[in-house]
């Protein structure tokens, strides 16, 4: 009898991811209070960011050419990208060092699936989707106050730039997480990168020319990941090259993270070592 052919990869991975989603839902619903509390905490933090901007704009009409509702939209874009990233990747990437320390990484490497896919998508933070929806609501509200209705092309460009921002955050945090293969623990580096997300909610023009601006534009592009999508919606892009720059940095970050991952696996000798 001819053995049954295994499912092709393009069918196996969606089915596997669907199973991971079901497991995440079951896990979240086991601790409903914790699930709701984290949503409330994130909403309060988002509200504080908006309140801070309201206080600032009580004393000025614009910051680096950005009006009040433009900055509200920028903060919404920053929070939206951050929460979508948190929903899909943050928990998984912070756990990589624990997988290495406890030996679970050995188990993942033995499974007949791509290890990077598995450790990147094992868990889903469902509460972050609610917070992302709140950020999207703020973006829509800010656009209405500005009297702007983005065209289909602008909406598509916004989605593409948000995706590029997600790839950048995922790739860089994954890159920093691979340090754990050499040091065993790397939570401090990973959390340090996550805390840099706050830079994204500041208008790009507010940063004076210098080393700080260059680093957070081209090396750790926090300034770009929210400012470019916001400028797409506002129709204030200075040049189409900004779109290509963000997309190019996203591709470069992913390639570097993949090379670091493969190098780290060659260095990894297992938990028993």
pLDDT at 6: 57
Domain contains 251 = yes
Containing structural domain, residue 200: 16-54+63-267
Domain contains 5 = no
- DSSP-derived 3-state class of residue 267: helix
pLDDT at 35: 72
**pLDDT one-digit tens code per residue, 102-116:** 888 999 998 888 999
Domain contains 99 = yes
**pLDDT one-digit tens code per residue, 181-199:** 888 677 778 888 888 888 8
Domain contains 153 = yes
Domain contains 32 = yes
DSSP symbols for 169-205: HHHHHHHHHTTHHHHS--HHHHHHHHHGGGGGGS-GG
pLDDT in tens, the chain (273 residues): 444 545 556 678 888 888 888 888 887 777 777 778 878 888 888 888 888 888 888 888 888 889 999 999 999 999 999 999 999 999 999 999 888 888 889 999 988 889 999 999 999 988 899 999 999 999 999 999 999 999 999 999 999 999 999 999 999 999 999 988 888 677 778 888 888 888 888 888 888 888 988 999 888 899 999 999 999 999 888 788 899 999 999 999 999 999 999 999 988 876 555
pLDDT at 90: 92
Domain contains 245 = yes
- CB neighbourhood size of 17 (10 A): 15
- Angle in degrees, CA 191, 188, 125, rounded to 5: 35
Number of domains present in the structure of the chain: 1
pLDDT at 240: 85
Q: Alpha-carbon distance 68 to 54, whole Å?
A: 8
> In b/e form, how buried is each residue of 150-165, taking b as 16+ CB within 10 angstroms?
beeebeebbeebbbbb
Domain contains 10 = no
pTM higher than 0.85 = yes
- Report how far Cα 81 is from the mean position of its chain's Cα atoms: 6
Domain contains 11 = no
């Amino acid at each position: 009898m001819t053995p049954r052919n295994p499912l092709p990869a393009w069918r196996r991975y969606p089915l596997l991811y669907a199973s991971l989603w079901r497991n995440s839902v079951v896990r979240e619903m086991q601790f409903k209070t914790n699930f709701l509390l984290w949503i409330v905490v994130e909403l309060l933090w988002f509200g504080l960011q908006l309140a801070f901007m309201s206080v600032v704009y009580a004393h000025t009409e614009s910051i680096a050419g950005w009006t009040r509702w433009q900055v509200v939209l920028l903060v919404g874009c920053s929070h939206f990208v951050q929460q979508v990233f948190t929903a899909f990747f943050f928990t998984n990437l912070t756990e990589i060092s624990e997988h290495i320390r406890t030996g679970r990484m050995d188990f993942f490497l033995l499974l007949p699936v791509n290890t990077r896919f598995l450790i990147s998508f094992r868990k889903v933070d469902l509460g972050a989707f609610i917070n992302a929806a709140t950020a999207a609501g703020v973006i829509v509200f800010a656009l209405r106050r500005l009297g702007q209705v983005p065209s289909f092309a602008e909406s598509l460009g916004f989605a593409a730039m948000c995706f590029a921002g997600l790839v950048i955050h995922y790739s860089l945090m994954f890159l920093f997480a691979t340090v754990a293969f050499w040091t065993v623990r790397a939570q401090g580096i990973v959390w340090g990168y996550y805390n840099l997300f706050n830079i994204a909610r500041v208008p790009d023009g507010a940063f004076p020319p210098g080393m700080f601006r260059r680093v957070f534009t081209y090396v750790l592009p926090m300034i770009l990941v929210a400012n470019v999508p916001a400028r797409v919606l506002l129709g204030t892009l200075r040049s189409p090259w900004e779109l290509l720059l963000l997309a190019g940095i996203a591709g470069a970050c992913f390639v570097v993270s993949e090379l670091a991952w493969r190098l780290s696996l060659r260095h990894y000798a297992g938990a028993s070592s």
